Amino acid sequence: MKIGYARVSTEDQNLDGQVDALQKVGCDEIYKEKASGVSERAVLEEAIRYLRAGDTLVVTKLDRLGRSLKKLIALIEELKDRGIHFESMDDGIDTSTSVGTFFFQVIGAFSELERNLIVERTKKGLEAARRRGKFGGRPKTHNENKKEIAYREVMENKKSIKEIADSLGMSRMTIYRYIEKKNEKPVQNEHR
């Protein structure tokens, strides 16, 4: 069974051209949606749930499924795992053929290469920053003296953590983390 999916991005656009093309190639059912390529597409999800092994999902162009290559590849993999074929008419893609399957494998390989290159560049950038004495993460907003004052006040039980945090302009979590960090450190022997 061929299931068609037609989508336009805005309400004022017309689906007729896509619907006519999908009918011409023999789609038994056609799901129509007016939603942008990056938003949630309930009708597409409904069409995917309707598909069964041996069926084919047909679109007029690849971009009808969305703009993200990563999501497109994930969708095609999901369909493949369920035994469902995919066809994009204008792009000449048909995963029921060897060439169509190869096309998606190539796209998947490029996508994986891109992810790996991003990871590599990120690692190199972090290493270069560390060599220059810069470290990632959130900058410290309170110096050790302020944290030590909070610690002493907590240990002397003069005020609640909330009162101490409010008076010093700190969060309670900062105080809790400092107490935890301080209590983890082994006590040094002063007789050395």
Q: Write phi, then psi, for 184 (nearest 5 degrees).
A: -80, -30
Q: Are 51 and 27 in contact (CB under 8 A)?
A: no
Strands 56-59, 85-88: pairing kind: parallel
Give 3-state DSSP helix, strand, coil % of the chain, rounded to 5. Answer: 55, 10, 35
Query: Token pair for residue 53?
Result: 């092994």
Q: Is 96 a catalytic residue?
A: no
Element (H, E) at 173: helix 172-184
Which of 95, 83, 33, 11 is closest to 58 using CA atoms? 95
CB 93 within 8 A of CB 87: yes
Spatial distance between the Cα atoms of 44 and 82, rounded to a whole number of angstroms: 16
Active-site position among 9, 68, 88, 96: 9
Cβ-based neighbours of 132, under 8 Å, separated by 6 or more: none
Which residues form the catalytic set? 9
